[in-house]
Protein backbone atom coordinates (compact mmCIF):
# COMPACT_ATOMS: atom_id res chain seq x y z
CA UNK A 1 0.00 0.00 0.00
CA UNK A 2 3.01 2.27 -0.53
CA UNK A 3 1.29 4.62 -2.93
CA UNK A 4 -1.74 5.14 -0.67
CA UNK A 5 0.57 6.01 2.23
CA UNK A 6 2.29 8.55 -0.04
CA UNK A 7 -1.11 10.06 -0.89
CA UNK A 8 -1.95 10.38 2.82
CA UNK A 9 1.39 12.13 3.36
CA UNK A 10 0.81 14.54 0.46
CA UNK A 11 -1.08 17.76 1.04
CA UNK A 12 -1.49 21.02 -0.86
CA UNK A 13 1.52 22.76 0.62
CA UNK A 14 0.94 26.35 1.66
CA UNK A 15 4.43 27.17 2.92
CA UNK A 16 7.66 25.86 1.44
CA UNK A 17 11.09 26.08 3.04
CA UNK A 18 12.70 28.40 0.50
CA UNK A 19 16.21 27.39 1.61
CA UNK A 20 15.73 23.79 0.45
CA UNK A 21 16.25 22.96 -3.22
CA UNK A 22 15.27 19.72 -4.94
CA UNK A 23 18.02 17.74 -6.69
CA UNK A 24 17.43 18.05 -10.43
CA UNK A 25 17.19 14.26 -11.10
CA UNK A 26 14.16 14.12 -8.79
CA UNK A 27 12.44 16.97 -10.66
CA UNK A 28 13.23 15.13 -13.89
CA UNK A 29 11.42 12.04 -12.57
CA UNK A 30 8.31 14.10 -11.81
CA UNK A 31 8.37 15.51 -15.34
CA UNK A 32 8.91 12.01 -16.72
CA UNK A 33 5.78 10.80 -14.90
CA UNK A 34 3.74 13.54 -16.61
CA UNK A 35 5.42 12.69 -19.93
CA UNK A 36 4.35 9.05 -19.57
CA UNK A 37 0.71 9.92 -18.81
CA UNK A 38 -1.91 8.79 -21.30
CA UNK A 39 -3.54 11.41 -23.55
CA UNK A 40 -6.49 11.22 -25.89
CA UNK A 41 -5.33 9.62 -29.17
CA UNK A 42 -1.76 9.98 -27.87
CA UNK A 43 -1.61 13.59 -29.08
CA UNK A 44 0.13 14.82 -25.89
CA UNK A 45 -1.10 18.36 -26.60
CA UNK A 46 0.81 20.21 -23.91
CA UNK A 47 4.22 21.30 -22.71
CA UNK A 48 5.77 21.69 -19.26
CA UNK A 49 7.78 24.81 -18.53
CA UNK A 50 10.26 24.50 -15.65
CA UNK A 51 10.83 27.82 -13.89
CA UNK A 52 13.66 28.33 -11.40
CA UNK A 53 14.54 31.98 -12.09
CA UNK A 54 13.90 33.68 -8.73
CA UNK A 55 12.90 37.04 -10.26
CA UNK A 56 10.43 35.40 -12.57
CA UNK A 57 8.93 33.34 -9.72
CA UNK A 58 8.47 36.57 -7.72
CA UNK A 59 6.69 38.21 -10.67
CA UNK A 60 4.33 35.23 -10.91
CA UNK A 61 3.31 35.63 -7.24
CA UNK A 62 1.29 38.73 -8.17
CA UNK A 63 -0.35 36.91 -11.07
CA UNK A 64 -1.18 34.06 -8.66
CA UNK A 65 -3.11 36.37 -6.33
CA UNK A 66 -0.18 36.64 -3.92
CA UNK A 67 0.16 32.93 -3.26
CA UNK A 68 3.71 32.78 -1.89
CA UNK A 69 4.24 29.11 -2.72
CA UNK A 70 5.14 30.24 -6.22
CA UNK A 71 8.18 32.16 -4.94
CA UNK A 72 9.15 29.93 -1.98
CA UNK A 73 9.14 26.65 -3.88
CA UNK A 74 12.31 25.14 -5.31
CA UNK A 75 11.00 24.49 -8.85
CA UNK A 76 7.84 25.87 -10.39
CA UNK A 77 6.29 23.80 -13.19
CA UNK A 78 3.81 25.36 -15.57
CA UNK A 79 1.59 23.01 -17.55
CA UNK A 80 0.62 24.81 -20.78
CA UNK A 81 -1.66 23.43 -23.48
CA UNK A 82 -1.65 23.84 -27.23
CA UNK A 83 -3.95 26.72 -28.10
CA UNK A 84 -5.77 24.44 -30.57
CA UNK A 85 -5.50 21.18 -32.46
CA UNK A 86 -4.33 21.50 -36.06
CA UNK A 87 -3.68 19.17 -38.98
CA UNK A 88 0.04 19.89 -38.70
CA UNK A 89 0.17 19.10 -35.00
CA UNK A 90 -1.70 15.82 -35.51
CA UNK A 91 0.50 14.83 -38.50
CA UNK A 92 3.63 15.72 -36.59
CA UNK A 93 3.09 13.34 -33.67
CA UNK A 94 1.78 10.51 -35.86
CA UNK A 95 4.77 10.79 -38.23
CA UNK A 96 6.97 10.55 -35.15
CA UNK A 97 5.06 7.49 -33.83
CA UNK A 98 5.35 5.71 -37.22
CA UNK A 99 9.06 6.51 -37.46
CA UNK A 100 9.86 5.36 -33.92
CA UNK A 101 7.93 2.13 -34.46
CA UNK A 102 9.56 1.48 -37.83
CA UNK A 103 6.25 1.73 -39.71
CA UNK A 104 5.44 3.22 -43.08
CA UNK A 105 4.91 7.03 -42.71
CA UNK A 106 1.33 6.55 -44.03
CA UNK A 107 0.55 3.75 -41.54
CA UNK A 108 -1.84 5.90 -39.46
CA UNK A 109 -3.36 7.95 -42.32
CA UNK A 110 -6.93 6.69 -42.06
CA UNK A 111 -6.91 7.25 -38.29
CA UNK A 112 -5.40 10.74 -38.48
CA UNK A 113 -7.85 11.73 -41.25
CA UNK A 114 -10.69 10.95 -38.83
CA UNK A 115 -8.98 12.82 -35.99
CA UNK A 116 -8.38 15.90 -38.14
CA UNK A 117 -12.01 15.89 -39.28
CA UNK A 118 -13.23 15.75 -35.68
CA UNK A 119 -11.00 18.51 -34.35
CA UNK A 120 -11.21 20.91 -37.30
CA UNK A 121 -15.02 20.82 -37.02
CA UNK A 122 -14.89 21.99 -33.39
CA UNK A 123 -14.30 25.55 -32.17
CA UNK A 124 -10.92 26.61 -30.79
CA UNK A 125 -12.41 26.93 -27.29
CA UNK A 126 -13.94 23.44 -27.44
CA UNK A 127 -10.59 22.04 -28.50
CA UNK A 128 -8.70 23.95 -25.82
CA UNK A 129 -11.08 22.58 -23.19
CA UNK A 130 -10.33 19.07 -24.42
CA UNK A 131 -6.59 19.85 -24.35
CA UNK A 132 -6.86 21.11 -20.76
CA UNK A 133 -8.48 17.79 -19.75
CA UNK A 134 -5.36 15.98 -20.95
CA UNK A 135 -3.24 18.26 -18.79
CA UNK A 136 -5.24 17.58 -15.61
CA UNK A 137 -4.58 13.87 -15.99
CA UNK A 138 -0.81 14.27 -16.53
CA UNK A 139 -0.76 16.76 -13.66
CA UNK A 140 -2.17 14.02 -11.40
CA UNK A 141 0.64 11.71 -12.47
CA UNK A 142 3.20 14.42 -11.59
CA UNK A 143 1.69 15.01 -8.14
CA UNK A 144 1.62 11.27 -7.44
CA UNK A 145 5.26 10.90 -8.51
CA UNK A 146 6.26 13.84 -6.32
CA UNK A 147 4.50 12.25 -3.32
CA UNK A 148 6.31 8.96 -3.93
CA UNK A 149 9.61 10.86 -3.91
CA UNK A 150 8.58 12.72 -0.71
CA UNK A 151 8.61 16.01 -2.52
CA UNK A 152 5.92 18.49 -1.60
CA UNK A 153 3.71 20.16 -4.16
CA UNK A 154 0.74 22.49 -4.51
CA UNK A 155 -1.74 21.92 -7.31
CA UNK A 156 -2.68 25.44 -8.47
CA UNK A 157 -5.26 26.86 -10.78
CA UNK A 158 -5.50 30.05 -8.72
CA UNK A 159 -3.76 32.41 -11.11
CA UNK A 160 -4.63 34.71 -13.99
CA UNK A 161 -3.89 32.54 -17.03
CA UNK A 162 -4.05 35.42 -19.50
CA UNK A 163 -1.56 37.50 -17.49
CA UNK A 164 0.83 34.57 -17.23
CA UNK A 165 0.54 33.92 -20.98
CA UNK A 166 1.46 37.56 -21.56
CA UNK A 167 4.40 37.52 -19.12
CA UNK A 168 5.91 34.40 -20.72
CA UNK A 169 4.87 35.30 -24.27
CA UNK A 170 3.23 31.89 -24.58
CA UNK A 171 1.01 32.88 -27.51
CA UNK A 172 4.13 33.04 -29.65
CA UNK A 173 4.67 29.34 -28.91
CA UNK A 174 1.02 28.48 -29.61
CA UNK A 175 0.49 27.69 -25.92
CA UNK A 176 -1.87 28.75 -23.13
CA UNK A 177 -1.22 28.23 -19.44
CA UNK A 178 -3.49 25.84 -17.53
CA UNK A 179 -1.97 24.76 -14.20
CA UNK A 180 0.96 25.61 -11.93
CA UNK A 181 2.81 23.09 -9.79
CA UNK A 182 5.19 24.52 -7.17
CA UNK A 183 7.54 21.77 -5.93
CA UNK A 184 9.79 21.83 -2.88
CA UNK A 185 9.96 20.91 0.78
CA UNK A 186 7.35 21.86 3.36
CA UNK A 187 8.16 24.39 6.09
CA UNK A 188 6.81 22.22 8.95
CA UNK A 189 6.97 25.00 11.54
CA UNK A 190 5.16 27.65 9.54
CA UNK A 191 2.59 25.83 7.42
CA UNK A 192 -0.82 25.92 9.14
CA UNK A 193 -2.08 23.04 7.00
CA UNK A 194 0.72 20.56 7.58
CA UNK A 195 -0.84 18.64 10.49
CA UNK A 196 -4.50 19.15 9.65
CA UNK A 197 -6.60 16.04 9.16
CA UNK A 198 -7.29 15.14 5.55
CA UNK A 199 -11.07 15.32 5.14
CA UNK A 200 -13.08 13.86 2.28
CA UNK A 201 -16.72 12.90 1.73
CA UNK A 202 -17.64 9.73 3.66
CA UNK A 203 -16.76 6.68 1.58
CA UNK A 204 -20.31 5.35 1.83
CA UNK A 205 -21.48 8.49 -0.02
CA UNK A 206 -18.49 8.66 -2.34
CA UNK A 207 -18.79 5.15 -3.74
CA UNK A 208 -21.97 4.01 -5.40
CA UNK A 209 -22.20 0.31 -6.07
CA UNK A 210 -24.74 -0.94 -8.56
C1 LIG B 1 -7.06 21.73 -9.86
C2 LIG B 1 -6.69 22.21 -8.50
C3 LIG B 1 -6.44 23.55 -8.28
C4 LIG B 1 -6.03 24.01 -7.02
N5 LIG B 1 -5.67 25.32 -6.86
C6 LIG B 1 -5.09 25.70 -5.69
C7 LIG B 1 -4.52 26.99 -5.54
O8 LIG B 1 -4.53 27.82 -6.45
N9 LIG B 1 -3.92 27.28 -4.35
C10 LIG B 1 -3.86 26.39 -3.31
O11 LIG B 1 -3.29 26.71 -2.27
N12 LIG B 1 -4.42 25.16 -3.42
C13 LIG B 1 -5.02 24.79 -4.58
N14 LIG B 1 -5.53 23.53 -4.71
C15 LIG B 1 -5.44 22.61 -3.57
C16 LIG B 1 -6.78 22.14 -3.02
O17 LIG B 1 -7.39 23.16 -2.30
C18 LIG B 1 -6.51 20.90 -2.18
O19 LIG B 1 -5.98 19.91 -3.02
C20 LIG B 1 -7.78 20.35 -1.50
O21 LIG B 1 -8.28 21.27 -0.57
C22 LIG B 1 -7.51 19.02 -0.81
O23 LIG B 1 -6.47 19.15 0.12
P24 LIG B 1 -5.12 18.31 0.05
O25 LIG B 1 -4.58 18.46 -1.35
O26 LIG B 1 -4.23 18.95 1.06
O27 LIG B 1 -5.44 16.89 0.35
C28 LIG B 1 -5.96 23.09 -5.95
C29 LIG B 1 -6.23 21.73 -6.18
C30 LIG B 1 -6.57 21.29 -7.43
C31 LIG B 1 -6.80 19.82 -7.65
Mutate to test the pocket of ligand 1, among 155, 182, 192, 196 (most ligand atoms within 8 A of CB): 155
CA 146 vs. chain centroid, Å, equals 12
Full strand arrangement of the beta sheet holding 46-51: 46-51, 75-82, 175-184, 152-153
Angle at 147 between CA 58 and CA 188, to 5 degrees: 60
Q: Are 180 and 139 in contact (CB under 8 A)?
A: no
What is the average per-residue pLDDT within 1-12? 94
Q: Are 70 and 61 in contact (CB under 8 A)?
A: yes
Q: If you measure from the C-alpha of residue 156 to the centroid of ligand 1, how many angstroms do you get, rounded to a whole number?
A: 6
Pocket of ligand 1 (CB under 6 A): 11-12, 14, 67, 154-158, 198
Of the pLDDT bands very low, low, confident and very high (cuts 50, 70, 90), residue 19 is very high
- pTM here is 0.97
> How far apart (Å, rounded) are the C-alpha atoms in residues 187 and 116?
48
What is the average per-residue pLDDT within 82-104? 98
Average pLDDT of the chain to the nearest whole number: 97
> How far apart (Å, rounded) are the C-alpha atoms in residues 153 and 15?
10
* Per-residue DSSP letter, 201: -
What is the average per-residue pLDDT within 109-123? 97
What is the average per-residue pLDDT within 142-156? 98
Of the pLDDT bands very low, low, confident and very high (cuts 50, 70, 90), residue 1 is low
Mutate to test the pocket of ligand 1, among 11, 12, 14, 201 (most ligand atoms within 8 A of CB): 12
Neighbours of 89 (CB within 10 A): 16
Of the pLDDT bands very low, low, confident and very high (cuts 50, 70, 90), residue 57 is very high
Ramachandran sector of residue 127 (left: φ over 0; alpha: ψ -120 to 50; beta: rest): alpha
Which residue's CA is the closest to the ligand 1 atom numbered 22?
12
Which residue's CA is the closest to the ligand 1 atom numbered 20?
12
What is the average per-residue pLDDT within 64-72? 98
Amino acid sequence: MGLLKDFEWRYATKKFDSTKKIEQPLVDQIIEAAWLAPTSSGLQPFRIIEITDENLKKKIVTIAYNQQQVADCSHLLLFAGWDNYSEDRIDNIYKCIALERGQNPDFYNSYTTRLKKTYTSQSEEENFKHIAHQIYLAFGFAIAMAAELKIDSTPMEGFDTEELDKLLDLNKEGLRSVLLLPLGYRDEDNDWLVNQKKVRHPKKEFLLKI
